[in-house]
Amino acid sequence: MSVNQYGWNQGWIQKWNETDSTYLDKRLVPGRIIGDFGSKFRVLTEDGEKWGEVAGKLRHGLSSSGEYPAIGDWVALAVLDAGDHTIIHQVLPRSSVISRQAAGNARAEQIIAANVDTLFLVSALNDDYNVRRMERYLIMAWNSGATPVILLTKADLCSDPASRIIEMERAAPGVAVHAVSSVHNIGRESLEPYIGSGLTVALTGSSGCGKSTLVNWLCGKTVQQTQEVREGDSRGRHTTTHRELFVMPSGGIIVDTPGMRELQLWTDEGGLSTAFGDLTELAVECRYSNCRHEHEEGCAVLEAVRTGALEEKRLMNYRKTQRELQYQSVKEAKAKRKNSSVPSKAASSSRPRRNSWHLELEEL
């Protein structure tokens, strides 16, 4: 398997040529992280697959790139004499970053995957189907730089998948929505534009929504273990405990990720206004430019709710998510002020903490 089959192209060659010359002088070679197993990575180089460990400077945040490796990253690495192991020295600038707020109380980013072209947002057409949850996933997707596509899996369990597609399209203006069934081989042809040679797709969604089954279906063989969901609530435990890239027969690359019970958003870089684009357009017609869409006179958003043009639950989810992101922003600002007040001597003497996104993706 060559690096070209994993997406190495002229764009990445240009980025490689623009990397720090001090690293290139060390005879480093490019590679892509195709497996994240916690303390070690699996990397693909022109000479095949190898194990990779992070260089000390990169591990402790002293590298000029400042980025810790994640699944899908292109990296500069040194191949050790034995040839089976490498040291990762630098992360090439990313084209997209899919991340969320790490589990726990600490304010920290957890990277799910990097350099993804299309992000499949997966929701099963069973009792776990949830439009409001999908709106949150769309915010994460639009913030990432990848193109979101909604996949409604287990279409064979739904009596009217067409109505579900219409419902999702209303909640995700401009986003492609496809209903598929791996059991009955339904909808595969609709995914072909996203899984062509050299293209990278990632899957994300709640536990038990069928991501691993979807990966096996698109790969044409069993590459991920699957489990049945619970009968009572259509929920399941995630069976993917690490992140790994797989090459599909179509030539595309796919990455499965552990399922999430709840998505905590990391930050907002325009994803909220894009995911709720219909509200953004309506807000332009509000009488007041700082309208909060709660009880103000002349609010076009509230008028749309009154007439039925906008679903009230969608507005409520927008408000809730907006408050959450504002709260996260305040927490980040406080954390920065606190860190800046720590004496440099004390800071240098403390033991560096392991980056949170290097941990396994946890269920909340």
Q: What is the pLDDT of residues 25-62, one digit of tens each?
A: 568 899 999 999 877 899 999 999 999 999 887 777 65
Q: What is the pLDDT of residues 206-224, one digit of tens each?
A: 777 778 889 999 999 888 7
Of the candidates 67, 59, 166, the residue with the CA atom closest to the CA atom of residue 114: 67
Instruction: Report residue 171 as tokens.
Output: 């909640």
Per-residue pLDDT band at 225 (split at 50, 70, 90): low
- Alpha-carbon span 219 to 22, nearest angstrom: 40
pLDDT beyond 60 at 231: no
Fold of 97-256: Rossmann fold (3.40.50)
DSSP sequence for 80-99? -TTSSEEEEEEEPPPS-EEE
pLDDT beyond 80 at 7: yes
Q: What integer is the mean pLDDT of 359-364?
A: 31
Which of 86-100, 165-179, 249-263, 309-323 bottoms out in mean pLDDT, i.e. has the lowest? 249-263
Higher per-residue pLDDT: 257 or 3:
3
Of the candidates 248, 39, 277, 255, the residue with the CA atom closest to the CA atom of residue 135: 277
- As a whole number, the mean pLDDT across the chain is 81
Give me the pLDDT at residue 39, please.
77
| The architecture CATH gives domain 276-333 | Orthogonal Bundle (1.10)
Give me the pLDDT at residue 221, please.
87
Give me the pLDDT at residue 238, please.
46
All CATH 1.10.40.50 domain ranges of the chain, comma separated, are 276-333
All CATH 2.40.50.140 domain ranges of the chain, comma separated, are 4-91
Give me the pLDDT at residue 341, please.
63
SS3 content of the chain, % helix, strand, coil (to 5): 35, 20, 45
Give me the pLDDT at residue 103, please.
57
- Alpha-carbon span 179 to 158, nearest angstrom: 10
Q: What is the pLDDT of residues 137-189, one digit of tens each?
A: 898 889 889 999 999 999 998 889 999 999 999 999 899 999 999 889 999 99
Report the interhelical angle of 161-171 vs 131-144 (nearest 10°).
50
Of the candidates 203, 353, 330, the residue with the CA atom closest to the CA atom of residue 267: 330
* One-letter identity of residue 189: E
- Alpha-carbon span 31 to 72, nearest angstrom: 10
Instruction: Report residue 44 as tokens.
Output: 């693909």
Cα angle 253, 257, 263 (rounded to 5 degrees) comes to 130
pLDDT beyond 60 at 350: no
Q: Is the pTM of this model over 0.85?
A: no
How many other CB atoms are found less than 10 A from the CB of residue 131?
17
Of the candidates 115, 59, 120, the residue with the CA atom closest to the CA atom of residue 92: 115
Give me the pLDDT at residue 236, please.
44
Residue range 4-91 forms a domain whose CATH class is mainly beta
Give me the pLDDT at residue 207, please.
74
Distance of CA 164 to the CA centre of its chain: 23
pLDDT beyond 90 at 1: no
- Alpha-carbon span 190 to 32, nearest angstrom: 28
DSSP structure class, residue 43? E
- Alpha-carbon span 40 to 50, nearest angstrom: 10
Report CA-CA distances (Å) from 93 to 12, 25, 65, 66, 348: 9, 19, 8, 10, 27
Give me the pLDDT at residue 339, please.
65
CB 182 within 8 A of CB 217: yes
Task: Return the half-sphere exposure (C-beta side, CA atoms, 13 A cut-off) of residue 50.
Answer: 25
Instruction: Report residue 75 as tokens.
Output: 């990296």
Give me the pLDDT at residue 185, please.
92
Of the candidates 114, 118, 82, the residue with the CA atom closest to the CA atom of residue 98: 114
Give me the pLDDT at residue 176, please.
96
Instruction: Report residue 281 as tokens.
Output: 């357009």
Give me the pLDDT at residue 325, please.
81
- Please say whether the dihedral angle defined by the alpha carbons of residues 99, 246, 207 and 359, taken in this order, is positive or negative: negative
Report the interhelical angle of 312-340 vs 131-144 (nearest 10°).
50
Higher per-residue pLDDT: 348 or 308:
308
All CATH 3.40.50.300 domain ranges of the chain, comma separated, are 97-256
- Alpha-carbon span 235 to 231, nearest angstrom: 8
Q: What percent of the chain has pLDDT over 70?
A: 76
Higher per-residue pLDDT: 270 or 273:
273
